[in-house]
Amino acid sequence: MIQCNADGKRDNAVFLFTNIEYEVEAKEKLTFMALNDALTRIPNMRTFSTDVAEMLRTYPKEEFLMISIDIGQFRLVNKLFRYSEGDNVLKYFATKLQEIIESYDKGIYCRMASDIFYACISEKENVEEFLSVLQTGMKNYPLKFELKLYFGIFKITDRMEPVEYMVEHSSYARLEAKKNPLQNIAYYNDELKKKEFFEAVVVSEMEQALQEGQFEVYYQPKCNSLTKQIIGAEALIRWNNPEKGYLSPGIFIPIFEQNGFVTEVDYYVCTQVCKKIREWMDHGVTPVPVSINISRCDLYDKELLSRIMSTVDEYQVPHNLIEFEITESAFILESNLLVSFTKALRKEGFCVLIDDFGSGYSSLNSLKNIDVDVLKIDIAFLPVSTGEKKSPIIMEAVINMAQKLGLDTVAEGVETVEQLELLEKLGCYKIQGYYFYKPMAVTDFEKLLRK
Ligand code: C2E
Ligand code: CA
Ligand code: CA
């Protein structure tokens, strides 16, 4: 509002003052926004880092703990209720965190992003109590289900280490806590340190490894148990690391899934397989269909599908020779993305398999919404030992259901003649497993094909 003096003219002195007042207020607001989190109004990560470094300098003799906190099932709050309810949960938790830390004579806290918070407190405080006050606070939040907190705790040993690294160590411990359903607290220890270091090395080497061709595609034949003929193969990746030797995908694929690199690897496998099939066709070797594993992370890559299609066509590989295995867990977690992904593949004449069927996620319901061609059942998920009565009944039901739904079945992980005989009795003749062949280098697989 512009103020005027008695003769109706603008009073410049008042105007100037109001303007300065407004500017000061705006500046204060901007400073507050730069240092704090807009939603919860507690410090942000930038302020946290500076303040932790300052606290460590001020109290050189005192031991401190870096604690990373995650509100479990937070995504569910946003999904089931409104986003405003999610905001309320975050504000509520921030207040609890602020209250407890401000009751200590020192301690720093912040919200990093989403539902991730950090605290740095003195080891003199009662840590168990700290965690339990926060957890009880969350339990009291009025929701239909209980919100469980996950904590990762890192004892600061090297004060020269950047605060960002301390934060990373505590986050690493928190992720470990989340992996184990029986606990919600994990301490960063020597074992985790080794694991974190190993993962950091893997991540730092992965791109060069891909460029240098250190990843090798192995092939595990799929056989018809009646004719004993090879009717297909699965492409399985190995990392021939110059220092560590052969690394199995079980070690590095989960790491690549965390940083998205898995999509590059899967595309690489696809390219290698297409190249090989072309080569076989050009040299008079009758090819068999080869299946490629698709990680659920791949579904987020909008370009992948078109890259796959153009590669297959570049090598002029008939579409019936390429198949895609998508793990069962993706059918639950990414069902919307999957519907369009599988539809697009099948429209182009590619065969789609549900991998690891029966591995624990109930995918029966998803079969209703997603069209696939083959159920791949891992016999390891349903141990069939002699004398065991229930597993064969479940296996029979799954195979019958697949047949009624017009789906083909492949059994993998078949190691013994008893398992083979049972599968044959139940009408499943497509077999992959050590009973016939282990995964092998491409040159060995070629020899088998030539035979
Ligand atoms: P998967 O897709 O379920 O592959 C089957 C795994 O079972 C392979 O392990 C295979 O070697 C193993 N296997 C086959 N037959 C038998 C058997 O009779 N007994 C036993 N005990 N094991 C058997 P591998 O090659 O170590 O691969 C492990 C997992 O890594 C795969 O499980 C898959 O999830 C992932 N993976 C492998 N290659 C790729 C890839 O190129 N891309 C992606 N995204 N994932 C891959
Ligand atoms: Ca597979
Ligand atoms: Ca499998």
| pLDDT single digits (tens) 313-357 | 999 999 999 999 998 777 766 677 888 899 999 999 999 999 988
Task: Please answer whether residues 327 and 357 qualify as being in contact, where contact means their C-beta atoms are separated by less than 8 angstroms.
Answer: no
For ligand 1, what atom is nearest to the CA of residue 237?
A: 38
**CA-to-CA distance for 379 and 415, rounded, in angstroms?**
9
Share of the chain above pLDDT 90, in %: 72
Same domain assignment for residues 330 and 416: yes
Same domain assignment for residues 261 and 158: no
User: Domain for residue 179, yes or no?
Assistant: yes
Among 12-26, 101-115, 163-177, whose mean pLDDT is lowest?
Answer: 12-26
pLDDT of 188 over the 60 cut: yes
Same domain assignment for residues 230 and 357: yes
Domain end among 188, 222, 254: 188
Same domain assignment for residues 303 and 381: yes
Same domain assignment for residues 250 and 356: yes
Please provide the DSSP assignment of 126-194 as one string: -HHHHHHHHHHHHHTS--SSPPPEEEEEEE---TTS-HHHHHHHHHHHHHHHHH-TT-SEEE--HHHHH
**Predicted local distance difference test score (pLDDT) of residue 5:** 55
Q: Which residues are paired to 241 by β-bridges?
A: 245
CATH code of residue 213 = 3.20.20.450
**CA-to-CA distance for 390 and 365, rounded, in angstroms?**
22
Same domain assignment for residues 221 and 177: no
Same domain assignment for residues 182 and 215: no
| pLDDT single digits (tens) 404-416 | 999 999 999 999 9
For ligand 1, what atom is nearest to the CA of residue 412?
A: 15
Ligand 1 atom 11: the closest Cα is on which residue? 439
- The one-character DSSP state at 285 is P
Place of tokens 């016939």: 436
**CA-to-CA distance for 292 and 392, rounded, in angstroms?**
29
Phi/psi of residue 117, nearest 5 degrees: -125, 160
Same domain assignment for residues 236 and 331: yes
**Predicted local distance difference test score (pLDDT) of residue 411:** 96
- The one-character DSSP state at 43 is B
Tally of CB atoms within 10 A around 367: 17
**CA-to-CA distance for 426 and 430, rounded, in angstroms?**
12
**Predicted local distance difference test score (pLDDT) of residue 171:** 96
User: Domain for residue 158, yes or no?
Assistant: yes
**Predicted local distance difference test score (pLDDT) of residue 225:** 96
User: Domain for residue 404, yes or no?
Assistant: yes
Pocket of ligand 1 (CB under 6 A): 220, 236-237, 248-250, 253, 262, 266, 269, 293, 295, 325, 355-356, 412-415, 432-434, 439
Same domain assignment for residues 337 and 420: yes
Q: How confident is the model at residue 365 (pLDDT cuts 50, 70, 90)?
A: confident
Domain end among 188, 217, 252: 188
Same domain assignment for residues 233 and 329: yes
User: Domain for residue 353, yes or no?
Assistant: yes
User: Domain for residue 23, yes or no?
Assistant: no
Query: What does pLDDT average to over the chain?
Result: 91
Distance 252 CA to ligand 1 centre (A): 12
Owning domain of residue 217: 207-450
User: Domain for residue 336, yes or no?
Assistant: yes
User: Domain for residue 33, yes or no?
Assistant: no
What's the number of CA atoms in the CB half-sphere (13 Å) around residue 423? Answer: 30
Same domain assignment for residues 223 and 112: no
Domain end among 188, 221, 238: 188
Distance 262 CA to ligand 2 centre (A): 14
User: Which sign does the torsion angle of CA 345, 349, 355, 357 carry?
Assistant: positive
CATH code of residue 120 = 3.30.70.270
**Predicted local distance difference test score (pLDDT) of residue 29:** 86
Q: What is the count of structural domains for the chain?
A: 2
Same domain assignment for residues 56 and 116: yes
The string over 6-32, giving b where at least 16 C-beta atoms fall within 10 Å of a residue's C-beta and e elsewhere, is: eeeeeeeeeeeeeeeeeeeeeeeeeee
User: Domain for residue 99, yes or no?
Assistant: yes
**Predicted local distance difference test score (pLDDT) of residue 278:** 98
What's the whole-model pTM score? Answer: 0.82
Query: Given ligand 1 and candidates 410, 412, 417, which is best to mutate, with the most ligand atoms within 8 Å of its CB?
Result: 412
What is the side-by-side order of every strand in the sheet holding 149-155? 108-113, 116-122, 64-71, 149-155, 185-187
Which residues contact residue 138 at a Cβ distance below 8 angstroms, ignoring those fewer than 6 apart? 71, 93, 96, 146, 147, 148, 149
- The one-character DSSP state at 225 is T
pLDDT of 382 over the 70 cut: no
